[in-house]
């Protein structure tokens, strides 16, 4: 059992700089003694299999959009793959938080048989609050609907429909029917919460929610929201993905 003692020693050493205690909060395992915080460390992944490198369709699509997104290739490939899987689920695809349209265009190219709604304020982040550690509102405003429309046109993504305004407050009425895949890329807690609350009754069995920025330093509001949903949502499987995505999959009819 010496290896267990050595592991415990290493964990204590790694966490020694933080006065931590085990907590009972539903949204996290650890709590800081003074103010609740989410812990971060460098994640080392040993797997090297890279299926995106042999997917020519994806690589061509990614080359077309990579200058219009802040999302890395690994998460882009996951969105690509999930959008293709969403083809077997009833409903449209919805992305909230589009910025310059890179991932939204990728979703539309992956699922040409579906309507893909792309919602953004084009005024930057909205609804930042106390749950958010870095965002104050207005960030990522360096875009426009025209930039996204030009990208979609150049990619031939005629199945994408742009929604300009706060979602769901101002533009949700345009989206009709069920939603098979929801990509939440809004960066902050309250905006993400409002989007998910709107979408939940519209997700059929097999429907998916993907949170971007999950686990990112500075996006603790999104990580907290995903943690809360994990503890409170019934009928969903949860995938904690260390690439920066949190994924919920509805396993039963709503």
> In this predicted structure, which of 3-12, 29-38, 197-206, 222-231 has the lowest mean pLDDT?
29-38
What gap in Å lies between CA 141 and CA 122, rounded to an integer? Answer: 6
Within a domain: 27: no
Give the domain range for residue 201.
50-250
The CATH number of the domain where 130 resides is what?
3.40.50.150
Within a domain: 210: yes
Instruction: For residue range 56-110, list pLDDT tens digits in order.
Output: 999 999 999 999 999 999 999 999 999 999 999 999 999 999 999 999 999 999 9
Q: pTM for the whole thing?
A: 0.85
* pLDDT of 159 over the 80 cut: yes
pLDDT for the residue 28: 31
Mean pLDDT of 175-202: 98
Within a domain: 128: yes
Within a domain: 205: yes
Cis geometry, peptide bond prior to residue 168 (ω within 30 degrees of 0): yes
pLDDT for the residue 43: 76
Within a domain: 180: yes
Mean pLDDT of 166-187: 97
* pLDDT band of 40, cuts 50, 70, 90: confident
Instruction: For residue range 230-244, list pLDDT tens digits in order.
Output: 999 999 999 988 889
What gap in Å lies between CA 53 and CA 160, rounded to an integer? Answer: 26
What gap in Å lies between CA 251 and CA 169, rounded to an integer? Answer: 28
- Residue 211: left (phi > 0), alpha (psi -120 to 50), or beta? beta
Within a domain: 241: yes
Instruction: For residue range 99-153, list pLDDT tens digits in order.
Output: 999 999 999 999 999 999 999 999 999 999 999 999 999 999 999 999 999 999 9
Contact call for residues 58 and 32 (beta carbons, < 8 A): no
Contact call for residues 119 and 107 (beta carbons, < 8 A): no
* pLDDT band of 15, cuts 50, 70, 90: very low
* pLDDT band of 9, cuts 50, 70, 90: low
| Structural domains in the chain (count) | 1
Enumerate long-range contacts of 33-37, CB under 8 Å, 24 or more apart: 37/220
What is the maximal distance between C-alpha atoms in the chain? 63
Within a domain: 202: yes
Within a domain: 35: no
Residue closest to 246 by CA, chosen among 225, 226, 221: 226
User: Judging by DSSP bridges, how do beta strands 92-96 and 179-184 pair with one another?
Assistant: parallel
Mean pLDDT of 39-53: 85
């Amino acid at each position: 059992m010496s290896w267990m003692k050595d592991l415990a020693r290493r964990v204590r050493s790694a966490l020694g700089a933080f006065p931590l205690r085990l907590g009972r909060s539903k949204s996290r395992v650890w709590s800081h003694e003074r103010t609740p915080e989410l812990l971060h460390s460098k994640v080392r992944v040993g797997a090297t299999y890279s299926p995106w490198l042999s997917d020519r369709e994806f690589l061509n699509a990614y080359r077309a959009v990579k200058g219009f997104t802040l999302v890395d290739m690994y998460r882009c490939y996951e969105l690509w793959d999930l959008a293709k899987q969403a083809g077997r689920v009833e409903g449209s695809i919805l992305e909230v938080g589009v910025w310059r349209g890179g991932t939204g265009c990728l979703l539309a190219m992956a699922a040409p048989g579906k309507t893909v709604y792309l919602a953004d304020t084009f005024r930057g982040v909205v609804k930042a609050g106390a749950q958010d550690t870095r965002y104050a509102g207005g960030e990522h405003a360096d875009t426009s609907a025209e930039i996204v429309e030009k990208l979609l046109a150049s990619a031939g993504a005629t199945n994408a429909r742009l929604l300009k305004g706060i979602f769901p407050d101002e533009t949700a009425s345009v989206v009709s029917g069920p939603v098979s895949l929801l990509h939440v890329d809004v960066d902050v807690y309250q905006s993400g919460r409002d989007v998910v609350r709107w979408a939940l009754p519209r997700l059929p069995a097999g429907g998916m929610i993907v949170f971007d920025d999950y686990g990112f330093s500075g996006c603790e509001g999104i990580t907290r929201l995903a943690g809360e949903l994990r503890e409170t949502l019934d009928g969903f499987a949860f995938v904690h993905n260390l690439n920066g995505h949190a994924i919920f999959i509805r396993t039963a009819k709503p």
